[in-house]
Structure 1
Amino acid sequence: MSFEPTQVKGLFFDIYATLIDWEAGIYPFLLRLAQKLPQSYPLHADTTETRKTLLHMYAATERVVEHDNPTLAYPQILEKVYARIAAELGVVGQHDDQVAFGRSIGEWPAFSDTVAAMQTLAKYYKLVVLSNVDDASFARTCAGPLKSVHWDGIYTAEQIGSYKPNPANYNYVATKFQETFGISKDQIALVAQSLDIDHMSCKALGFKPGVWIARGAAHMGGNQDEMEAKGLIELGVTYITLGEFAKAVERAFSS
């Protein structure tokens, strides 16, 4: 383990997939879309394989749409993703459903351990958001599932003008830590679920090895062993849940 909790002063978080259960928020929309297919089609049934396939379609499509539309507000990104997935499936999606999908972000639930874990971490670190959403969408999340979580800084794709994995987003948060709190780049660490977006970007940009919250590691975000072997990522420490990480931090500061 190369992550020493007491040597870090600030943490920056990917939100959706790390703190918020984006799969639980997104999948019902995608399943309803897939169920417009004939019943004989495999994706019509609500199975583990259907879930895996639809979520992979979402992740791949979202990345392309964000790359092609770096200044488009996130709800509109989601609308485009929905429309492209409908086209790929060969079904007709209703416009109202497309708009509802785009506005659903604030309704996506937090993981059960998120709020308590963040309250623990707030005792020891400055905590900031680095998210690929717009300000209004994140405000709905803050007012809903994360309403009891304290943030020292909130930095969105809308503010920065680009979507992760653009290096500008990560450099932006490092600059804000220095300017706002006097905390240098080597005193901050990423906490995120995504290997192939967040942890790979931070390795390439020279950040301290971060904290991998390996939710859904079996089917999303890249293969850890393969990426480490290629030198694409360097993880400081791995936990299955944010709650486990928070408990480890509390033990470290108490000892």
Structure 2
Amino acid sequence: MASQDISALKNYKALLFDCYGTLIDWERGLLATPQIRGLLAQDGAPDEQGLLAAFSPNEVRVQAATPGIVYDEVLTQAFKDTAHDLGLSATDADAKAFGDSVPSWPAFPDSADALKRLSDMGLKLIIHSNVHNAGFAASRKKLEKGYEFDQVFTAENIGSYKPDHRNFEYSIRRLKELYGIERDEILVTANSKLHDHEPGHIAGLKGAWISRPGANMGVKKFDHIVPDWEFPTMMDFADAMEKARV
């Protein structure tokens, strides 16, 4: 990672976190499900990265086409579509079980500790996620260790999915109403360039990219999207935020 000026990080009061891909290792979680393992074991299946590359656009398409459905249903349909696209066999039961897999996805090892440090700095920690409330309820137990998120803004509550600009305007408006925090005091903190950094920039928000080595979905093929800061882990980001605020 190139040297970067972190001094401006001291100006932010709220961190707008993507959860899955940034705090929760959704790619590892997806690939570990018995349903995905079943697809990968079939003749003609791609490798893991190829399967993720096939799954990601299907997920985005389902979210855009049916913004009112909850995230477990998005996963179910995207699984069916991916299997079909790849010429692989999958039952409705497989798809439903995959849709219910969010609670099994693991947190990145550094997420909880880094979030606790950021909370201790007095920053507002805001979840801004393409998830349903029941799914995040399971994930938050893996993340809240000695602190609590200040707000949780889910696609289920907003009624649309990122990168829809409505999601960002909703979060910006609510942070102003709840805390008097202005647009230029909110920092998008996320892994996905597609879902978070590009629409965040359009909404007038700067972003810290948690680049998570090896990340595929929402990252590969989006090199033209250049976040304002880059940190490979959440702990690196917490270190930088701490130094900026001294």
TM-score (norm 2): 0.90
Structure 2 CA distance for partners of 1:2 and 1:160, relative to 1, 3 Å: farther
Assess if the C-alpha contact under 8 Å between 2:207 and 2:227 holds in 1.
Answer: yes
What is the aligned partner in structure 2 of residue 31 from structure 1? Answer: 37
Structure 2 CA distance for partners of 1:178 and 1:218, relative to 1, 3 Å: closer
Q: Which runs of 4+ in 1 moved over 6 A?
A: none
Shift in Å, 1:70:
0.3
Counterpart check, 1:20 vs 2:18: no
Determine the C-alpha separation between the residues in 2 that align with 1:14 and 1:88.
28
1:243 to 219, 232, 235: 235
Assess if the C-alpha contact under 8 Å between 2:163 and 2:195 holds in 1.
Answer: yes
Structure 2 CA distance for partners of 1:195 and 1:32, relative to 1, 3 Å: same
Determine the C-alpha separation between the residues in 2 that align with 1:69 and 1:134.
14
Give the SS at the match of 2:23. coil
Assess if the C-alpha contact under 8 Å between 1:34 and 1:89 holds in 2.
Answer: no
How many residues are paired up? 237
Assess if the C-alpha contact under 8 Å between 2:76 and 2:98 holds in 1.
Answer: yes
Structure 2 CA distance for partners of 1:92 and 1:234, relative to 1, 3 Å: closer
Gaps of 5+ in 1: 44-49, 228-232
What is the aligned partner in structure 2 of residue 139 from structure 1? Answer: 137
2:115 to 118, 123, 141: 118
Determine the C-alpha separation between the residues in 2 that align with 1:16 and 1:235.
18
What is the aligned partner in structure 1 of residue 155 from structure 2? Answer: 157
What is the aligned partner in structure 1 of residue 82 from structure 2? Answer: 85
1:178 to 169, 176, 179: 176
Assess if the C-alpha contact under 8 Å between 2:39 and 2:45 holds in 1.
Answer: no
**Which structure 2 residues correspond to residues 185-224 of structure 1 after superposition, within 5 A?**
185-207=183-205, 209-216=206-213, 219-220=216-217, 221-223=219-221
Counterpart check, 1:5 vs 2:9: yes
Task: Among all aligned residue pairs of Structure 1 and Structure 2, give the percentage whose two residues are the same amino acid.
Answer: 33
TM-score (norm 1): 0.87
Shift in Å, 1:27:
1.1
Gaps of 5+ in 2: none
Structure 2 CA distance for partners of 1:252 and 1:201, relative to 1, 3 Å: same
Shift in Å, 1:247:
1.2
Deviations 1:4-48 (A, max 9, x none): 22111111100000000001110133232131x22xx363xxxxx
Give the SS at the match of 1:18. coil
Determine the C-alpha separation between the residues in 1 that align with 2:45 and 2:159.
39
Determine the C-alpha separation between the residues in 2 that align with 1:6 and 1:88.
47
Letter of the 1:141 partner, please give it.
Answer: S
Give the SS at the match of 1:122. helix
Letter of the 1:96 partner, please give it.
Answer: A
Assess if the C-alpha contact under 8 Å between 2:45 and 2:86 holds in 1.
Answer: no
Which segment drifts farther, 93-102 or 131-140? 93-102
